[in-house]
Structure formats: C-alpha cells, structure tokens
Amino acid sequence: MSNKQVVYNVAIYLRLSKDDGDNIESESITNQRKIIKDYINKHQEMKLYNEYVDDGYSGANFNRPAFNKMLRDIEAKKVNMVITKNLARLGRNYIETGSYIEKYFPDHRVRYIAILDRVDNFKDSVNNDFIPIKSVFNEKHCRDTSVAVKKTKRRKMQEGFYACTTAPFGYKKDLDNSGKLIIDEESSNTVKKIFELKEQGYTTPQIVKYLDSNHYKTPAEYLNIKGLENVKDKNVWRRSSVTRILGNKVYLGHCIRGKSQNISYKSKDRIYVKRNDFIIIENTHEPIISEETFNKVHNINKYGTIQAHNGTNYLFRDFVYCKNCGKKLIFKKERKKVYIYCRTNSENSKLCNNGCKINYEQVEDRIFEFIVHMYKEYFENSKSKDNLYKKYTESTIKEEVNNLESLKGDLRKINFKITSLYNQRLSDNIKEVDYKDRYNTLSVQRKDTTEKISQIEKEIEDNKLKLSTLNQKKIILKKVSKLEKDDLKKFNMGELIKKIEVFEREIYIYFNFSDSEIIKF
C-alpha cells in the first residue's frame, strides 16, 4: 500500500527594506514572488495558501504586520509551510531568526524553506548547519547599513537639510528643493498671532481660547497629518500646541534636528536626546518671528510649562485619574502648595469638562482618614461575616471536589465502555448498526460528563481564588488599620487600591476588596 502524499499549505513571505541596504532591483517584491512561485510550481505536494508582504519593514526586528498575520494563520493551522527567497527575507536578527527556524516552526509542525540558501528545516542538510553563520552576516550587513544611513542623515542635518516628511506649522517644503523650508502664508499668520498675543500678556489658556473662538486652523487640521484624518477634536486647539510653537526656534530661521533617535537599529522606538546634543544650524530659511520678539516672549515667563515634580514621593501619585477623560491627573506646585488637576482640561475645556483643582495634601489627608476609619470599622463589624463566608466557601470546595472525583470515575467507565465496544466491532462480535447506536449514546454521555467536569473545575478554582483574596484581605487590612500616616507612606498602595478617580470636588476610591467609595470636598 503506498504512503499518502503530504500536501503543504504554503505561505509565501516577501519582505523589502531600504533600512537593510537591500538592492531594490534584485530583492524586489516582484522578483521574490517570481522565484518562489516557480519553485512551488515544480513541486506537486505544495499548494499556495496565501502570500504575506512586508514592504518597507526592516529585517532587524519581527514586529511586522504581514509577518504577524502569517504567525496567526500558522497557529490556526491554516499554514504548514513557509517559503522565502533567502534567509535575509525572513529576518536579519540572527537570534530571533534562529529561534523561528529552530524552535517556532518545528513546534508548530511548519516546514521552512529558504530557496537560494538551500535551507530546509525538514531535511538533514549541511546547509542547515550554516544557518547561524549566515544569520550573523545578515545582521552585520543590517547593522553596517544602519550606521551608514545614520551618518548620511546626520551630515545632511549639519548642512541644514530639512529631511522630515512634514514641514513645521507655518512653513512648507520648497518644491524645487525638498530639504529647504519656505514660509506658508496662511499658517505663518497663525504663528505670528500666537507670538503677538503672548507679547500682549495673554496666558497660554487665553491664547487657546482666542484661537478657538476665531476659528484658526490647528496644526493637525491644517497640515492634514497622516493618521489623524479621523481623529476626534483635531480642530480643537491645545495648550501644548501653543507652548510647542512658542518654544520652537525654527521660527527664527534655524534648522533644529536630532531631537530624538532610535534606541537601536533593531527597534523603531525613539528616545529624546539632551538639548545640548541637538543639531542647530542657523539661518537656513526665512524667519517668521524676529529674535527680539522671541526673546521678549521667553522673558515674560515659562509660557505655560507644567512642572511635573517627578522627584517627590506622593502617596497616591500612581493611582489618581480623571473620572471624565480617564487620563492621569498631573501635579503642579503653586505658592508652596501642590495641586492636582486634569491635563486634558488644561489643554482645552472642550476636550474635558473636569475643571478639578484640589490641594493634594488635603486629598491625601482625607483618603488616609477614610481608609483608617473604614478598616477599623471592618474589624469591629465585618470580620465575623468574612469568617462565616470562609467556612461556607471551604465547605463548598470540599463538596465540589467530591463531585469532581465521582465524575472523573464516571468518565473512566465511559471511556472503558467505548474501548470495549470498539474491540467488539473489530472482532465482528457486534453489528455495525448496533455499534453506531451504542457508540453515539456513549459519546453523548462522554461529552456531557466532560463538560460537567470542566464546569466544576472552574467553580473550584473560582472559590479557591475567593478564599485566597479573603485571606489576603485580612492580612492587608490588619496592617493598614494599625498604621500611622508616616508609616502608610511606605506601604505598597497597590495592595489596597485599584484606582482613584476625581471629578470636580468628588473623589471615587476603588479598593481591591470592596466597592467604590466617594469622598466629597
């Protein structure tokens, strides 16, 4: 009897990136597709399922949309073969590439082929032994290319070349010289108005209100920034937008570049660099604001800068949110007192109507008093109820465990009957019709019993979690009820509180072990 031919559902994976230094012509998506399809056509056991294309994604990391979609299809068992033109198309990070070839694909019973490198993880081949070496060279190529690209970009920055896709608000890119900025008449008038209002003594919130009421287009609205087409409130001015414009030296005619950089060539995440390391090239384009106006504005005050006070250890800092917009509240020091308020509301009241501004020390005192009182009361009135609940839950778990063991015994008997029935059929001791009837009956019993077992196992786990939470609650509440305020500041608040929400003069506290409580100021 001949063996049945395995049919492979093939995923074609195609990738191209200038960041890797790829030869665009030889490594083009079209070229990769042709080589792989020609290969598939020569093998009858291969059936194309789908192709996955990441055009413009670096091989240094695997956070690519089409690649991730392919992984989902592999895990859904829709794909059992992946083909790339060569190893570099799969990736240039030798650690992760090796992990996929040597672990992920075999674990998911997926055959991987890199055609030009003659790699096939389902075959014993000397080419497979060279995968780590080739991957190291692929990564080195990617790293060397990244270094070269960075040097080129930095050189262009130092020459005053403006390489960003979008020009700063107030400017547009010169069509005859894409690296040069020229003044955009309409938006530059808005920039001038913002500086003019600041010179006249307007505060940043007052400038925001003026721009909104006079229907000045926001940067997001005017520039039609990609990705913000459907963003709600993109036509609403924000305090941060005005602050950013007032502090940007690009309006003096200077090109400021290199404010941020990639963490590494393997990551798209960026970090901000120190101000002293910015690349500032003066007089690269026509200024919108004079040096005199800019300096005058900056000598008035800090034009709306919010002081974060990150160094101070506020007891509830990590838990305080706006109940209306859901954003974390910010802390601001005014005349030696610290206030909490909603950043979104301070940007523009149209974005959030929570105008809370509360003295943080008073908030801390009130919450502390509430917690101590609440949990002292617990030990006086509610502890006995919890003890009764604990005994009841323990009794319930014991009964459920007994039921579970009984059901598992029933399941073993059913499986034995099914096995016995199957053996009888093999020995022709039972007719086909009778076999099917009895098998169907036993199959239904097995399904029902299995479902009951799963249900009881879930109930046991839920009740065990309740007991664990109850014990944890008693331990934590006992600690808290004995603490003074200075001791409470050293206590891990995450053990006690999920979240604190503020709206106007109301504070909502969400505890880990009870319903939310409201404190009014």
At residue 511 the predicted structure's pLDDT band, cuts being 50, 70 and 90, is confident
At residue 406 the predicted structure's pLDDT band, cuts being 50, 70 and 90, is very high
The DSSP H or E segment spanning 14 is strand 8-16
* Distance (Å, whole) CA 13 – CA 352: 46
pLDDT digits 0-9 by tens, 115-124: 988 888 887 6
Assess whether pLDDT exceeds 80 at residue 2.
no
Provide the pLDDT for residue 233: 74
Assess whether pLDDT exceeds 50 at residue 303.
no
When pLDDT is averaged across residues 61-75 and rounded to a whole number, the result is 91
**Tokens in use for 116?**
């030009």
How far from 24 is each of 32, 86, 168, 505, CA to CA, in Å?
11, 15, 31, 61
Domains 8-145 and 171-300 agree in fold:
no
Give the chain's largest Cα–Cα span.
Answer: 105
At residue 176 the predicted structure's pLDDT band, cuts being 50, 70 and 90, is confident
CATH 3.40.640.10, applies to 171-300: no
Closest to 467 measured CA to CA, from 387, 375, 356, 379: 387
Assess whether pLDDT exceeds 50 at residue 175.
yes
Assess whether pLDDT exceeds 50 at residue 227.
no
Provide the pLDDT for residue 482: 66
When pLDDT is averaged across residues 281-291 and rounded to a whole number, the result is 85
pLDDT digits 0-9 by tens, 378-387: 666 666 777 7
Of 45-49, 156-160, 201-205, 446-450, the least confident: 156-160
What is the length of the chain?
A: 521
Q: Could you state, in order of their start, the residue ranges of all structural domains in the chain? A: 8-145, 171-300
Provide the pLDDT for residue 228: 45
Provide the pLDDT for residue 262: 53
Q: Tell which wins on pLDDT, 255 or 75.
A: 75
Phi and psi, residue 233, nearest 5°: 65, 25
When pLDDT is averaged across residues 454-471 and rounded to a whole number, the result is 85
Return mean pLDDT, the chain. Answer: 79
**Global pTM value:** 0.45
When pLDDT is averaged across residues 351-379 and rounded to a whole number, the result is 81
Fold of 8-145: Rossmann fold (3.40.50)
Assess whether pLDDT exceeds 60 at residue 208.
yes
Q: Measure the N-to-C terminal CA separation of the chain; round to a whole number of Å.
A: 85
